[in-house]
Amino acid sequence: MIPCIPSLKNLIFSSCARPSACFQEALASHSIPQELEEEIVRIQKAWDCYLVMQKVVEKEYDREAQLVCGAFANSLPLVTMCLHGFSPFSRREEESDDSSEETFQEELWKCYQWGDRVNQGKGLGTAVLIAAQRGHAGAVSLLLGSKEAHQIPSGGQFGIGGSLWIASKEGKTEAVLALLGSEHACRILAEGEEGLGSALCIAASWGHAKIVSLILNSLEAHRILSDGEEGLGAALWYAVDREGNEEVVSLLLNSSHAGRISTNEMERARCHALLKAHKSVADLLTKAMAWRLLENESADIA
């Protein structure tokens, strides 16, 4: 018989040992709580990922590999156990079948890439990146709240900035919120390929209005440059370039940082909107420039 609320140890054992027919029948009949059933599925996914990664990960980094697998599968119990120094899974030394590789055929190369990063001692940063890319906000918060989080680099693809960039690109709003709300948000670089400005630009380019709003209203937004390839003006241009996203353009023009966008950048974006035949966006920019001109004239008179 399966207990209604099995211990985490039994849950992990049942999941990674490939449940018996009786257990699978219980899953199929939904005779166990849905929340528990979903967690079992996540642990099974982490186990399949681990079977692939253990082929390339050195033994000394086994726990970090399992941490990455837990973040990939969004299994918060597994992530928690790994962060507390436990290794939920037992390493298999014998030759395993290729079923796990078949399960991860499309992402097989990613598992090997993650394994290489783990072998370099960068498992925690890799786990944050994977969780952020998949929108696993709970896992992101757990990882960044750990006592080892200070070891994650600020920049680089596998740093905190890289995680913010990929979450912004993929439109993972909750993950972006978790990253910007963590105590490590202040370590994200202001500029560069994985900086705050770059995250704003990629979110604006893909039309992720909620993420643009989150970044502009974050405590770190004042560090975003006004001009340059990853500045506020560039974000405005990117918002116009891809789809002429009126909502994103409006957010940028009405934010508390709009005054830092130069008139030249606004004119450049307006001309680009006209060339792209985004009339409504061009009108927004024309009005914003007109209001700025009036404000400047009023200031001169005063």
Q: Does domain 189-301 have CATH number 1.10.260?
A: no
Tokens found for residue 150: 């200070």
Scan for tokens 């211990």, then name that residue.
7
pLDDT in the model for residue 102: 54
Single-letter code of the amino acid located at 63: R
C-alpha 12 chain-centroid distance: 26
pLDDT in the model for residue 191: 85
pLDDT in the model for residue 1: 32
Task: Please identify every stretch of the chain with a pLDDT value under 50, giving residue numbers as ranges.
Answer: 1-6
pLDDT digits (tens, 9 = 90+) for 26-84: 666 666 677 887 888 898 889 888 988 988 999 999 999 999 999 999 999 999 999 99
pLDDT in the model for residue 163: 96
- Domain borders along the chain are 1-17+36-87+108-176, 189-301
pLDDT in the model for residue 156: 86
C-alpha 222 chain-centroid distance: 22
How many whole angstroms separate alpha carbon 46 and alpha carbon 61? 16
Q: Exposed/middle/buried for 60, CB within 10 Å: 0-12, 13-18, 19+?
A: exposed
pTM of the predicted model, to two decimals?
Answer: 0.86
